[in-house]
Amino acid sequence: MSPQPLVTISAPYGAGGSRVGPLLAEQLGVPFAERIMRRPVADRVAGPLAQARQERQPVGRSLGRMLRQVAGERPRAPITERAEQIADAEYRRAHEEELRGFVDEGAVILGRAAAVVLRDVSHAVHVRLSGPAELRVQQAMKIEDLDHATARWRQVTEDLARDTYVRHFHGVDPEDAAFYHLTIDSTRLSLEACVESIAAAARSVT
């Protein structure tokens, strides 16, 4: 029996992942797994992360705590550096177990560094949606009915938070083409065309 379609989508802000993902899942007949990152948390963590990157200093032990909050975990009391490391390892383990739970049933997974975690799954198709930053801002303005300044702020803060999340927990560059079977400029192709292209690729390996 052929496995169910399994597609991971990596998408920076404004690339349309939140539109492509559900449409693709519906077309393939599998569940849609939303990204972990939530905008209010991304906005809160982006400032400290940007400052640390600008200063080119190691991000302090609070980073793991902030990024687990990005994943939806409730804030917790201050803990020691050793406890922070243990908490990071436990979070990563639980996160990877959750993603691997989709392997047999099939899914379209948005974000979550799923292309990294599931890179050894032979029937998975890993996709990177992207496009120039300004074109992604313009697309976000249309999708979310935003003014330019708001969309630009979200593009900067969310891109930074998502990038840092992947680097912190998985130690890789989320833009590395080696992780993806398809890389699509979703600011130049229609989102519907993106869905059709990815669906065809997913069906070709199942």
Q: Is residue 103 part of a domain?
A: yes
Q: Is residue 100 part of a domain?
A: yes
Condensed to tens digits (0 to 9), the pLDDT of residues 84-117 reads 555 566 667 777 888 888 888 899 999 888 999 9
pTM score: 0.75
Domain interval for residue 185: 6-204
Q: Is residue 178 part of a domain?
A: yes
Q: Is residue 1 part of a domain?
A: no
Q: Is residue 75 part of a domain?
A: yes
| Higher pLDDT among residues 175 and 57, named by residue | 175
State the total domains in the chain. 1
Q: Is residue 143 part of a domain?
A: yes
Report pLDDT for 155: 93
Condensed to tens digits (0 to 9), the pLDDT of residues 27-79 reads 999 999 886 543 443 454 445 445 544 544 444 445 555 555 555 555 454 44
Residue 105's CATH number: 3.40.50.300
* Structural contact between residues 16 and 130, judged by C-beta atoms closer than 8 angstroms: no
How would DSSP label each residue in the chain?
Answer: -PPPPEEEEE--TTS-HHHHHHHHHHHHTS-EE--S--HHHHHHHHHHHHHHHHHT----THHHHHHHHHTTPPP-----HHHHHHHHHHHHHHHHHHHHTTTTT-EEEESTTHHHHTTT-TTEEEEEEE--HHHHHHHHHHHHT--HHHHHHHHHHHHHHHHHHHHHHH-S-TT-GGG-SEEEETTTS-HHHHHHHHHHHHHHT-
Report d(CA 45, CA 15) in Å as an integer: 21
Condensed to tens digits (0 to 9), the pLDDT of residues 160-172 reads 888 888 888 888 8
